[in-house]
Chains A and B, each alone.
Chain A
Amino acid sequence: MYGNLIDALPAVLSLGNLAAVVIGVIAGICVGALPGLSATMAISVLIPFTFGMDPLVALGMMAGIYNGAMYGGSIPAVLLRIPGTPAAVATSFDGYPMAQQGRGGYALQVAVVSSAIGGIVSALVLMLLAPPLAKVTLLFGPTEIFWVAVFGMSAIVFLLGGDVLKGLISAAFGVFVSLVGADTITGAERYTFGHLELLDGINIVVLLVGLYALPPAIGLLEEVRDFDTQNTGRLNTISIWKAMPGMLKYWKTWVRSSVIGVFVGILPGAGGSMAAFLSYNEARRASKNPEEWGKGEPEGVAASETSNNADTAAALIPALTLGIPGTAVAAVMLGGLLIHGLQPGPMLFRDNPGIVFGFMWQFLFAAVLLIFLGGALATNSFAQVLRLPRPLLGAIIIALVFIGVYSINGRMFDVYLMLGFGLIGYFMDKLKFPLPPVVLGLILGGFAEQNLRLALRIGGGDWSILAASPTAKILIAMILLVVLAPLFSRWLRARKTHRANA
């Protein structure tokens, strides 16, 4: 098996294949940086053009686009608080405050290095552990996936912010929004108010753009300021190679987030957003100064970006080995393999080892190239947006926001919905309701419900099925630990203070 991996290398190192990866990474960064254009869409557009290409060239471009887009999403998330991709939402929590403090360049450098590390780990895992890791997914039925989602939601405890009451309201609102649409099991409509557009639920990008992108645009236009474009937009960066040694202190976050990203990537249906949130939460929990998170902590950017890139190649493990696409991008990539006559599944490794292992190498090269191409592109080109006068930037963001939302389904209804969420987001921001719990509730609420219902259906309505398997029991124990440990430590601290005062 690993002999095939080495045999595949010479073909990948040919000029045409390397050029395909380079073009893919650059295109991916540009696509990811433009709100509304996703890796899925870019790869979908690319597939028809690859008919006449060599399969490895086509797959190299896809690998490059996927890796590039996952990092590219962090550029507007850091500079404008517009997540270019849903997976970049957690990046904006600390990246945007850093940009506001004049450390946007460093935030982008941390993002690009972390993305590359996550991508490299993910590609190595895909190369070395694809067949054995694919077996892990067989242990996860709806019950276990439900508990994984609940585990993710327990992260809300750490995202509540200073005001627990408002944090819980935000989380409940997020879960409620995830319920809009037709019930996937009974087909009954929930809060569609007769609108066919709502039958499929509310697209996460509509909510994200409304909550995260519109309020800052309003804020830019609302402030009365002198427009000193010479100094306000400076990124204050040093060369990425000089900055990298200073980032080595994030090694624990890189390791932890890579593991989370790979694990979530293997799970079907979970995706980069969930990986980024879980990883952000775990890194914050492990931090010595959790109160600084959300105010411009570079480690938050590192956690989110490592994880959402560690998810990329790992998401292809079930896709390549079992033919089960866990994410939309993986599904599109499977389509790309199929049009080149490659049937995903265990036989792919036996019949076309040169291509499948070559594809894995291309993922690794794409991740490494991120540091070279992403660093220069991010800091020298895209970051110039910060130099624009604020009213002009506000107007441009409004147009970008429109494009981002309209291009999801090509309909104005989503734009109206986004404007509604934008107003809600504006008032939530002003009244200090934390926004991250809304997003977490939306991502995981529907996911948890769907798997709970499936599990109950399999168990004939018997709720005890939820704790029947050993994997489920381990997950329940982990959830209890995560929720109760901070409460217990808080109680211990309070008791200690009380005793000291007495």
Chain B
Amino acid sequence: MNNASSSTPLGAARGIDPDLIAGIIIVLGAGALLTRTSDMPGMTALLPVTMLSALIVLGLLMIGRCLLRRRRRGDPEATAPAPLKVFDNARRFFGIVVAIAAYVAGVALLGFYTTTAVMIPVVAWCFGYRSLKGVLLADLIFTGGIAIIFVVLMGQELPTEFFLR
């Protein structure tokens, strides 16, 4: 997970401005949602149509600005801002997304306390905190503390453990 070589700006290597991608997604997304307003009563559709139309116009302006910026970058005389960097470390980012997805799926399947007790040490270890004692102590304090507050004091139910179902 500590590979820093993958820390390239999204699309920057291929010369695609992330703002351009965002602009296209906004226009396409808002356009698709706008088609759904045809089924709504007039007053119900008023604000959705206004907001989505505004999003489309603003998205188009953003695309136009990116294209203009690109043209200016091609001109050695002109100065244009460089594309924004999206990921600090793409590999780690996707690793985190997978870990969060696995945690949520685990909670639904195994229960909250079991999955949390496993997730905290595993994620902390994988992402660089390599103290076994520290990890286990933190896990015990956090998961135990949450159990005391939510189960004993507040009576708040979290997804039930698989062995209690």
Q: Do A and B bind each other?
A: yes
> What residues of chain A have their CB less than 8 Å away from a CB belonging to chain B?
34, 37, 41-42, 45, 165-166, 168-169, 172-173, 175-176, 179, 183, 185-186, 188, 190-191, 214, 218-219, 221-225, 227, 388-392, 394-396, 398-399, 402-403, 406-407, 410, 412, 415-416, 419, 422-423, 427, 430-433, 445, 449, 453, 456
Q: Which of B19, B43, B97 gathers most chain A CB within 10 Å?
A: B43
Distance (whole angstroms) from the CB of B47 to the closest CB of chain A: 5
Q: Are B128 and A431 in contact (CB under 8 A)?
A: no
Whether B140 is near chain A, meaning CB under 8 Å from some CB there, is no
Measured in the bound complex, the distance between the Cα atoms of B1 and A225 in whole Å is 12
Q: Are B124 and A427 in contact (CB under 8 A)?
A: no
Chain A hits for B54, CB < 8 A: 168, 172
Chain B hits for A396, CB < 8 A: 120, 138, 142
| Pairs A–B under 8 Å by Cβ, sample size 9 | A176-B48, A190-B44, A223-B88, A224-B4, A392-B135, A395-B127, A399-B116, A403-B112, A433-B22
Q: Are B44 and A188 in contact (CB under 8 A)?
A: yes
8 further interface pairs, Cβ-Cβ under 8 Å (given A222-B93, A398-B123, A456-B43): A45-B154, A175-B51, A179-B48, A224-B4, A390-B129, A399-B146, A412-B104, A419-B101
Q: Are B134 and A222 in contact (CB under 8 A)?
A: no
Whether B26 is near chain A, meaning CB under 8 Å from some CB there, is yes
A218 is contacted by which of B44, B93, B119 (Cβ under 8 Å)? B93
Q: Are B119 and A398 in contact (CB under 8 A)?
A: yes
Q: Give a binary string over B56-89; 1 marks a CB under 8 Å from any A CB, 0 the rest.
A: 0011011001000000000000000000111111
Q: Are B47 and A172 in contact (CB under 8 A)?
A: no
Whether B38 is near chain A, meaning CB under 8 Å from some CB there, is no
Chain A hits for B92, CB < 8 A: 221-222, 224
Q: Give a binary string over B17-28; 1 marks a CB under 8 Å from any A CB, 0 the rest.
A: 011001000100
A389 is contacted by which of B99, B129, B142, B154 (Cβ under 8 Å)? B129
Known: A398-B123, A430-B86. A391 touches B129 (CB 8 A): yes
Known: A406-B158, A445-B47, A449-B47. A221 touches B127 (CB 8 A): yes
Nearest 7 Cβ contacts at the A-B interface: A391-B127, A395-B123, A391-B129, A392-B124, A389-B129, A183-B44, A391-B124
Measured in the bound complex, the distance between the Cα atoms of B156 and A176 in whole Å is 32
B40 is contacted by which of A188, A218, A227, A427 (Cβ under 8 Å)? A188
Which residue in chain A gives the minimum CB-CB distance to B105?
A: A412
Q: Which of A166, A222, A227 gathers most chain B CB within 10 Å?
A: A222
Chain B residues within 8 Å of chain A by Cβ, number: 65
Q: Are B146 and A403 in contact (CB under 8 A)?
A: yes
* Contact residues, B1-59 vs A (CB, 8 A): 2, 4, 18-19, 22, 26, 33, 36, 40-41, 43-44, 47-48, 51-52, 54-55, 58-59
Chain A hits for B157, CB < 8 A: 410
Chain B hits for A173, CB < 8 A: 55
Chain A hits for B51, CB < 8 A: 172, 175-176, 179, 445
Known: A395-B120, A399-B120. A406 touches B142 (CB 8 A): no
Q: Are A218 and B96 in contact (CB under 8 A)?
A: yes
Known: A169-B62, A224-B2, A403-B146. A392 touches B159 (CB 8 A): no
Measured in the bound complex, the distance between the Cα atoms of B131 and A390 in whole Å is 13
Known: A222-B96, A431-B86. A406 touches B116 (CB 8 A): no
Chain A hits for B150, CB < 8 A: 403, 407
Whether B110 is near chain A, meaning CB under 8 Å from some CB there, is no
Q: Give a binary string over B100-137; 1 marks a CB under 8 Å from any A CB, 0 the rest.
A: 11011001100010001001100111111101001100
Measured in the bound complex, the distance between the Cα atoms of B107 and A344 in whole Å is 43
Measured in the bound complex, the distance between the Cα atoms of B88 and A430 in whole Å is 10
Q: Are A431 and B18 in contact (CB under 8 A)?
A: yes
B22 is contacted by which of A222, A391, A403, A427 (Cβ under 8 Å)? A427
Distance (whole angstroms) from the CB of B119 to the closest CB of chain A: 6
Q: Are A403 and B86 in contact (CB under 8 A)?
A: no
Measured in the bound complex, the distance between the Cα atoms of B51 and A185 in whole Å is 19
Distance (whole angstroms) from the CB of A474 to the closest CB of chain B: 25
Chain B hits for A406, CB < 8 A: 112, 158-159
Q: Are A165 and B104 in contact (CB under 8 A)?
A: no
Which residue in chain B gives the minimum CB-CB distance to A182?
A: B44
Q: Are B123 and A391 in contact (CB under 8 A)?
A: yes
Which residue in chain A gives the minimum CB-CB distance to B9?
A: A430
Q: Are A175 and B47 in contact (CB under 8 A)?
A: yes
Chain B hits for A431, CB < 8 A: 18-19, 22, 84, 86
Known: A172-B51, A222-B96. A412 touches B43 (CB 8 A): no
Chain B hits for A449, CB < 8 A: 47
Measured in the bound complex, the distance between the Cα atoms of B138 and A86 in whole Å is 28
Which residue in chain A gives the minimum CB-CB distance to B84?
A: A431
Distance (whole angstroms) from the CB of B165 to the closest CB of chain A: 15
Known: A185-B43, A224-B4, A403-B158. A415 touches B104 (CB 8 A): yes
Measured in the bound complex, the distance between the Cα atoms of B107 and A183 in whole Å is 33
Measured in the bound complex, the distance between the Cα atoms of B116 and A173 in whole Å is 33
Distance (whole angstroms) from the CB of B154 to the closest CB of chain A: 6
A169 is contacted by which of B58, B138, B142 (Cβ under 8 Å)? B58
Measured in the bound complex, the distance between the Cα atoms of B24 and A336 in whole Å is 52
Chain B hits for A419, CB < 8 A: 100-101, 104
Distance (whole angstroms) from the CB of A76 to the closest CB of chain B: 14
Q: Are B149 and A188 in contact (CB under 8 A)?
A: no
Q: Are B2 and A179 in contact (CB under 8 A)?
A: no
Distance (whole angstroms) from the CB of A416 to the closest CB of chain B: 7
